[in-house]
Each structure stands twice: as structure tokens, then as C-alpha cells.
């Protein structure tokens, strides 16, 4: 690979050689302060695919023309709409089609998964999570513990980085699992930490959890569409993710769920049930006894949310065309360029900042989290005034996520120039 250079010519040359460059034209890039923005917050809300409108319009048309008959007469019959997403969603998370279902929203699905996979008893009742987990996940796990009559302070073990460090060491995660092996019920981590961008060693963690007699699940909100995972091969018990971050499926968009086939084929596993999870062939016989349909679909509650799913379908079609492997390859190079530019700035300006995301590409996706030691908020505001959208996290972190589908090397160069101007 060519050595990186912090020059406009280099960035433009990289864009010219990028075989995925045209995908940028398939997205609406927000215009902010009258200028096409440099959008580096696909980790928070991915951009709108231009095709999404037509996918949604199709459903409006079918609703307009068929009313209730759309369940069977629509171009994509609503009764089975969720089926159209499973194969592509499974490809994103390294799963078999049957192991994946798209439904509900992320936190709701996390609860549904914990109903099945966090079933504390007198001896096994502990759950290991990240110390600085996303707030929704913290509230979800605490409320699950309380729901079972447990004190979260005793039931929930939080992993913390060592003094003076920002990311978790694998050895410490594994040691915590080992130390609690007699009382551990579940390990539930964000596969990619939302704050630091750290990717955990999911396969090793899953093995350790299983060896300890516990289940293991991941919240892939920041993993899905960003970092390649192999949920089936890694033997993960369950996972959940949202579709509106790297998967570009719109604010409040639908969510994905993975349940390993080992559990999906076990009708005995306790779950909260609804009619859409019932054996599909008998759903409309309106029988009294719940018989879950096989696989992850057996966790569905309600009939499919056609409109958010139509947007998701538009996005998944783009992912399939681009190829997740290609996207990941570009992502590594693009994020490497961001790292290079930031590092050259720390050497050449008065700015005092530190990248807290791991330097090893295997331990990160596209996001870099930058701890700014002084004037962080002022830098963030300055960038925004220049139509550069990054993300500010209290107390002192700026997250930047160059997304391979629509970000360019030139975006990184211009970000670098703006940071440089601020520092001088």
C-alpha cells in the first residue's frame, strides 16, 4: 500500500482509485450552512439512500390500491415482508438465514433476548457488562436484574479499564469471566464499544462464557455494517443491532436479532410470545397454544413494520451490491488515513489530543474516538461551523467515523485542514 500523505493530491488520488467511490452518489449528503457537509457521524445516524423513497413509495401504493389485501397482494406481500430481509441481514452478521430476524427496535429486542438468555437462579445470577455501556443497555440490564428480584449492584458486574487506560484488555475480560464462573448467568457486551470504538474479541469471550456455564450475547449497534462478525461460527448465543447507524435505515429504524440455531430450534426455551412468532403455517388458524416457528422468527411479536423495513431493504440491497468484504477493506484504509492525519496534526500543531480507539485494525471498525485534552467542545463547534459533522461526547471525546459507503479520502483531508486551522 502507498504510504499516506497529508496532501490534497494524495487524498484525491486515493478517491480516484477507489472502486467503491460511486456509492457516495447513492446517498443524500446533508447540506449544512449552504455547503455539502463532511459527514463523519454514520456511527450515530447513517445517511439516506436515494433509493429508499421508491421502496417506501411502493408500499404506499400497495396500501392505497389494495388496503388490507396488500397482506397478500402487495408486490412484496406484507405477511412475509420480514422474510425479504433475513438473508441479507444474516450476511452482515455472519449467520444462517434462519438465525436472523428483523423486528422491533434495539432496546426492546435486547429485553426479549434477556428474557430468554438471562434466567438467574439461586446460584447463577450474575451478568457481566461493560463499565461504560450505552445508557440504554445499562438501564435494560439493571431493570432485568430487578425484574428477577435481584439487586443490580450484586447481579451486574461492570468491566472497567485499568487505571490510566481507556480500553478493556481481553485478558481482564476473560479473567473476570473465570473469577465468576460459579455464579455467572450471562455475558452481554457491545461487540464494538460505542464510546471508544474498541472491538472486543467476541469469539474468545463467547468460548470463555460457555466454559463458565453462561450464555453470551452481543449488542452490535456499532458493529452491524461496520465490523465483520461471524456470529454462527463463533457460537454466540444471541445478538441484537439497530439499522439506523451503519446500516443507513433511518431514524428509529427497525432492528435485527440473531439467535443461534441451537436455541432457535428449541421450542422449550422460555420467551415472551406474540402471534408473529407462532408457527407461520398455522398463524391464522388462531389456535390457543403457542407453537414457536423455527429459528429467530419464533421471537417475533407483532406483524411486520413495513415502512421502516422498506427503508432497510433499500439499504441492504446497497450493502449486497457493494459487498461487505470490499467495504471492510476500504474502511481499514480510510480509517488508517484518518489516524495518520490526526497523528501528523498532534506533531505539527498546538492541539493536545489522543486517539483512544485501539491502533490495531482488528480491534476497531471505522470509528476513531479522540480525547481532546483542552478546548474539545470549541473544536467541535468550530468544525460544525465549517459544515464538518463529527460527534461530541461529554466530557472530552470527539468521535469520527469515516464510512466506506459514502465518505471520501478528501473528507479526511479537509477535516485535517480544518483541525489544523483551529489549532493555529
Ligand X SMILES: *Cc1c(COP(=O)(O)O)cnc(C)c1O
Residues that bind ligand X (CB under 6 A): 105-107, 134, 136-137, 190, 194, 219, 221-222, 242
Minimum distance, C-beta of residue 141 to ligand X, in the bound complex (Å): 11
| Residue whose grid cell is 439497530 | 242
Closest to ligand X by CB, 6 or 117: 117
- Residue pair 250/244 in contact by the 8 Å Cβ criterion: yes
| Residue 190 bridge partners (DSSP) | 219
Q: Are 188 and 198 in contact (CB under 8 A)?
A: no
Compute the least distance from the CB of residue 337 to ligand X, in Å.
Answer: 25
Q: Supply the minimum distance, in Å, between the C-beta of residue 128 and ligand X.
A: 15
To ligand X, the closest distance from the beta carbon of 376 in angstroms equals 21
Please identify, using beta-carbon distances, which residue of 136 and 396 lies nearer to ligand X. Answer: 136
Cβ neighbours of 228 (radius 10 Å)? 15
Q: What is the 3-state secondary structure (H, E, C) of 98-134?
A: HHEEEECCHHHHHHHHHHHHCCCCCCCCEEEEECCCC
Q: Which is nearer to ligand X, 99 or 219 (CB)?
A: 219
Q: Are 334 and 303 in contact (CB under 8 A)?
A: no
Contact predicate 372/396, CB 8 Å: yes
Instruction: Give the residue from 88, 99, 85, 109 showing the smallest Cα distance to 237.
Output: 99
Put residue 252 in one of left, alpha, beta given phi > 0 → left and psi -120 to 50 → alpha: left
Length of the chain equals 424
* Cβ proximity to ligand X, 130 vs 237, nearer residue: 130
Contact status, residue 294 vs residue 98, Cβ threshold 8 Å: yes
**Closer CB to ligand X, 229 or 419, in the complex:** 229
When the beta carbons of 116 and 249 are compared against ligand X, the nearer one is 249
Q: How far is the CB of 192 from ligand X (least distance, A)?
A: 9
Work out how close the CB of 44 gets to ligand X at its nearest, in angstroms, rounded to a whole number. 8
Amino acid at each position: 500500500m502507498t504510504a499516506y500523505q497529508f496532501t490534497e493530491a494524495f487524498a484525491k488520488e486515493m478517491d480516484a482509485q477507489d472502486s467503491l467511490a460511486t456509492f457516495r452518489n447513492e446517498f443524500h449528503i446533508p447540506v449544512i450552512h449552504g455547503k455539502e457537509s463532511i459527514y463523519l457521524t454514520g456511527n450515530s445516524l447513517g445517511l439516506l439512500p436515494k433509493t429508499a423513497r421508491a421502496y417506501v413509495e411502493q408500499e404506499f401504493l400497495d396500501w392505497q390500491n389494495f388496503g388490507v389485501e396488500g397482506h397478500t397482494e402487495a408486490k412484496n406481500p406484507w405477511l412475509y415482508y420480514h422474510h425479504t430481509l433475513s438473508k441479507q441481514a444474516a450476511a452482515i452478521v455472519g449467520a444462517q438465514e434462519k438465525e436472523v430476524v428483523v423486528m422491533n427496535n434495539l432496546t426492546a429486542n435486547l429485553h426479549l433476548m434477556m428474557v430468554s438468555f438471562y434466567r438467574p437462579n439461586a446460584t447463577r445470577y450474575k451478568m457481566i457488562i461493560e463499565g461504560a455501556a450505552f445508557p440504554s443497555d445499562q438501564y435494560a440490564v439493571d431493570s432485568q436484574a430487578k425484574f428477577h428480584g435481584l439487586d443490580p449492584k450484586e447481579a451486574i458486574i461492570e468491566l472497567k479499564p485499568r487505571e490510566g487506560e481507556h480500553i478493556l484488555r481481553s485478558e481482564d475480560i476473560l479473567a473476570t469471566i473465570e473469577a465468576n464462573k460459579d455464579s455467572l448467568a450471562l455475558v452481554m457486551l457491545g461487540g464494538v464499544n460505542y464510546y471508544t470504538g474498541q472491538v472486543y474479541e467476541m469469539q474468545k469471550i463467547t468460548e470463555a462464557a460457555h466454559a463458565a456455564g453462561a450464555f453470551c450475547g452481543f449488542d452490535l449497534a456499532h458493529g452491524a455494517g461496520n465490523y465483520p462478525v461471524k456470529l454462527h461460527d463463533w457460537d454466540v448465543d444471541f445478538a441484537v443491532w439497530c439499522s439506523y447507524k451503519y446500516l443507513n435505515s433511518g431514524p428509529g429504524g427497525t432492528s435485527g436479532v440473531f439467535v443461534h440455531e441451537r436455541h432457535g430450534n428449541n421450542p422449550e426455551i422460555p420467551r415472551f410470545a406474540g402471534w408473529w412468532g407462532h408457527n407461520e403455517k398455522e398463524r391464522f388458524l388462531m389456535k390457543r397454544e403457542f407453537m414457536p416457528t423455527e429459528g429467530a422468527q419464533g421471537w417475533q411479536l407483532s406483524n411486520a413494520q413495513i415502512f421502516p423495513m422498506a427503508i432497510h431493504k433499500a439499504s441492504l440491497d446497497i450493502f449486497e451490491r457493494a459487498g461487505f468484504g470490499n467495504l471492510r477493506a476500504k474502511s481499514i484504509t480510510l480509517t488508517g488515513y484518518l489516524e495518520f492525519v490526526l497523528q501528523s496534526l498532534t506533531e505539527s500543531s498546538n492541539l493536545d489530543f489522543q486517539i483512544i480507539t485501539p491502533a490495531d485494525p482488528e480491534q476497531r471498525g471505522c470509528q476513531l474516538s479522540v480525547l481532546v485534552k483542552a478546548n474539545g467542545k470549541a473544536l467541535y463547534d468550530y468544525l460544525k461551523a465549517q459544515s464538518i459533522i463529527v460527534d461530541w461526547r461529554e466530557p472530552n471525546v470527539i468521535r469520527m467515523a469515516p464510512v466506506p459507503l459514502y465518505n471520501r479520502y478528501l473528507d479526511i483531508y479537509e477535516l485535517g485542514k480544518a483541525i489544523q486551522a483551529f489549532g493555529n
